[in-house]
Structure 1
Amino acid sequence: MRVSDCMTREVEMATPQESICDAARMMADCDAGALPVGDNDRLVGVITDRDIAIRAVAEGLGPDAKVGEVMSTEVKYCYADEDIDDVLRNMGELQVRRLPVLDRDKRLVGIVSLSDLAANGATAHAGEALSDIARPGGPHSQTWH
């Protein structure tokens, strides 16, 4: 099965010039925790609810801060014609739950999530990927030092 068989095709996209408040509203409207960021029909980043919380709010930036100030610019993606088993393996290695989907001209054509892949018959591989995604990345503590 290919990514194009199970990806979400209707994807909201933010621009680097939009405010983080607008991006948060778009996330709320489409019930998503991440948005691809595009500029002139090209994927230039991804902004997540965590980016807004950690890179903006926690750093004292207001709701008018621009998406481009807090987005992740090192974008991981997959191609629509890739096999889902390969993509799941890659998601596990990258420790991500979703990837933007590009065509071979590198234009955004969708987004694929771990749950999209699991719901379309790749349950065992999705479980393996989730196990890799959930592995600890280092020491974490919720106590104040």
Structure 2
Amino acid sequence: MKIKDIMTSDVCVIDPEDSIGDAARHMAELDVGLLPVGENDRLVGMISDRDIALRAVAAGKSAETKVREVMTRDVKYLYDDREVEEAAENMAQQQLRRMPVLDRGKRLVGIVSLADIAMDRDVGLSGAALRGISQPGGAHCQSESAA
């Protein structure tokens, strides 16, 4: 099965000149944690709730900060004509739970997530991808050793 058969194609794209406050509101309305950033009909970045928390809020930036200042510019993506198995392997290698999907003209056509793969008939793929994506985190301040 191809990625285009399982991806989410109805994707909200935000402009890099929009504020991170706008991005956060869109994320809340859509119940998503990631938005593609587009400019001149091209994907120029991605902004996640984590980008907003770590690169903006933790750095003391205001809600009026431009998306361009905190977005991830090095975007990993998949082509829509690739097999689902390739997507699962790629997501595991990159340790990503969601990836934008482009057509061969490099136009954004959707997003594929681990959940999309899990809904595919071969549930084993999502397990393999999840094992590759999920790596132990660093020391947490809530742990006993930090006390």
TM interval, short-chain normalised: over 0.9
Runs (4 or more) in structure 1 with deviation over 3 Å come to none
Paired letter, 1:17: E
Distance 1:114 1:141 in 2: 26
Distance 2:113 2:43 in 1: 17
* Counterpart position of 1:22: 22
Structure 2, unpaired ranges of 5+? none
* Counterpart position of 1:94: 94
TM-score relative to the length of structure 1: 0.95
* Counterpart position of 1:68: 68
Paired letter, 1:34: L
Paired letter, 2:11: V
Structure 1, unpaired ranges of 5+? none
Q: What is the aligned-residue identity percentage?
A: 52
Contact 1:117 1:123 in 2 (8 A): yes
Distance 2:122 2:94 in 1: 18
* Counterpart position of 2:40: 40
Task: Work out the number of aligned pairs and report it.
Answer: 143
Paired letter, 1:134: S
Deviations 1:28-70 (A, max 9, x none): 1111000000001100000000000000000000000000000
Paired letter, 2:120: N
Paired letter, 1:3: I
